[in-house]
Amino acid sequence: MNRFEYVRADTIADAIAALAQSAEARVLAGGTNLVDLMKYDVAKPSRVVDINRLPLKEVADTENGGLKIGALVSNSDLAWHPQIVKRFPLLASAILAGASPQLRNAATTGGNLLQRTRCYYFYDSSTPCNKRTPGSGCGAIGGVNRIHAIFGASESCIAVHPSDMCIALAALDAEVEVEGVKGRRLIPFEQFHRLPETTPERDNTLEQGDLVTAVILPATDFGSHHTYLKIRDRLSYAFALVSVAVGMTMEDGVIADLRLAMGGVAHKPWRNKVLEKTLHGAEVNKASFRHFAEEALRGAKGQGQNDFKIALARRTIVRALTQAARGTPQDQSDKTFR
């Protein structure tokens, strides 16, 4: 861990100013990822801007019937918030599928969006990694890549985004509220994270001086038909090999609306909105789900050790669609798969 300047921001404007001055400044919220990365010499910020005193800890109703979640609401508080439990159980489930109670107590909503990949090479500063050290190469291509991407990878980077919460937020069509030097703006969730292309060092579309202040959920909640199904190398406390978030509405036994996002497969939550529409009006049956899963994995490409993810993702989609349609979502406490 390097020496750094510590700044505690008392207002959002102070935080933005402190961040805007240096490209090497980083925000400290829960610290569950940043402090780790600093100890591994992966993150070496010149300045750490502590935002924990900012008034961003509220969950409030929006005019459109949705919810606005402050960036500093902890993962635990969010997962157990009565409004989330009641109206957005998909989000609650995804949050509880991740990390451990202790980590969720410390981790924040904004921080969760900014989690960095768990790629082994990214974490080991003695190996090449374009995300950590641009231009140094990608160690994972041709290397240990069991946990890596099957969609959207580039020759520069095959890392995946690690968050569970973000997969649900992608399915829910959330928006990210950002304040920056040019004022406030809303970023649609699918435009928040990005693919690696030739600049994998950039995980998202934030600019220097930007601060995530809130996540906004639209009114559509998928309270009855949803699931977050996470498949991993042990039953708890492991990142997803593949996860699937499904939100569905049903009318007269027919699928009226469907959202499906995949985690563990790409540099960002992976959705195919065109394909989702093909199930609108479809009856619930295994054949249509299997066909959907086939199509959903079209174009997927393994890297060797992670080739199994393609078959695994197909099966996970079929199971997740079945769980959502039946209204028997994945239970994150007993870990059994229905």
Partner 1 sequence: MELHRTNYDLIGKPTRRVDGELKVTGRARYAAEYPAPDLLYGVIVSATVPVGRIKTLDTKRAAALPGVVRIFTHENVRSAAWLDRKWRDEVAPPGHPFRPLHSDRILFDGQPIALVVSDSFEVARDAASLVRAEYELGDHCTELEMKRTDAYDPPEKRSGIPPPPSPRGDAEEAFERSPCRISSEYRINAEHHNPMELFGTTCVFEAPGKLTIYEKTQGSHNSQGYVTSVFGLKSRNVKVINHYVGGAFGSALRPQQQLFFAVMASLELERSVRVVLTRSQMFYIGHRPDTYHAIALAADETGRLTSIMHDAVAATSHYEDYQEAIVNWSGMLYHCDNVKLSYSLAKLDTATPCDMRAPGAAVGVNAIECAIDELCHEVGIDPLQFREINFASKDENTGKQFTSKALMSCYRDGASAIGWPKRSPMPRSQKDGHELIGFGMATGTWEASLMKATAQAKLTSDGRLEVSTAASDIGTGTWTILAQIGADALGLPLESVTPRIGDSTLPASPVEGGSWTAASNGSAVLAACEAVKQTLFKYAKTMTNSPLADADYERTVFAGGRIAHDGDHARSLSIDEVMHAADLSEIVESGKASPSLLQMRKYTSYTHSAVFAEVRVDEDLGVVRIPKIVCAAAAGRIINPKTARSQILGGVVMGIGMALHEEAMTDHRMGKIMNHNLAEYHVPAHADISDIEVIFVDEADDKVSPLGVKGLGEIGIVGTAAAVANAIFNATGRRVRDFPITLDKLITETE
Q: Which residues make up the interface to partner 1 (CB under 8 A)?
A: 1-3, 41, 118, 120-121, 123-124, 126-127, 139, 142-144, 146, 231, 233-239, 241, 290, 308, 311-312, 314-316, 318-319, 335-338
Sign of the dihedral through C-alpha 222, 310, 120, 156: negative
- Residue bearing tokens 């909503």: 109
Residue 285 C-beta: closest distance to partner 1, Å: 15
Give the CB-side neighbour count of residue 212, counting CA atoms within 13 A. Answer: 32
d(CA 338, CA 213): 37
* Least distance in angstroms from the C-beta of 229 to partner 1: 9
Nearest CB to partner 1, comparing residues 17 and 238: 238
Give the residue with the Cβ less far from partner 1, 252 or 333.
333
Q: For CA atoms 287, 291, 297, 302, give the dihedral sign.
A: positive
Which residue's CB is nearer to partner 1, number 158 or number 187? 158
Q: How far is the CB of 103 from partner 1 (least distance, A)?
A: 11
Q: What are phi and psi of 83, to 5 degrees?
A: -65, -35
φ/ψ of 52, rounded to 5, equals -65, -15
Residue number with CB closer to partner 1 (60 or 235): 235
Phi-psi region of 291 (alpha: psi -120 to 50; beta: other; left: phi over 0): alpha
User: Which lies closer to partner 1 via its Cβ, residue 190 or residue 307?
Assistant: 307
Q: Report, in Å, the least distance between residue 127 CB and partner 1.
A: 6
Q: Which lies closer to partner 1 via its Cβ, residue 42 or residue 176?
A: 42
* Residue 115: CB minimum distance to partner 1, A: 12
Distance, in Å, from the CA atom of 161 to the CA atom of 151, rounded to the nearest integer, reads 11
Q: Which is nearer to partner 1, 2 or 274 (CB)?
A: 2
In this structure, are residues 1 and 41 in contact, taking their beta carbons and an 8 Å threshold?
yes
Nearest CA among 155, 75, 63, 158 for reference residue 111: 75
Cβ of residue 281: shortest distance to partner 1, in angstroms? 25
Q: How far is CA 316 from the centre of its chain?
A: 18
Strand order in the sheet with 225-231: 225-231, 242-251, 254-263, 270-271
Find the helix or strand (DSSP H, E) in which 250 lies.
strand 242-251
Measured from the CB of residue 289, what is the shortest distance to partner 1 in angstroms?
A: 11
Residue 138 vs 187, nearer CB to partner 1: 138
Q: DSSP string covering 24-46, please?
A: TEEEESS-TTHHHHHHTTS---S
Q: How far is the CB of 241 from partner 1 (least distance, A)?
A: 8
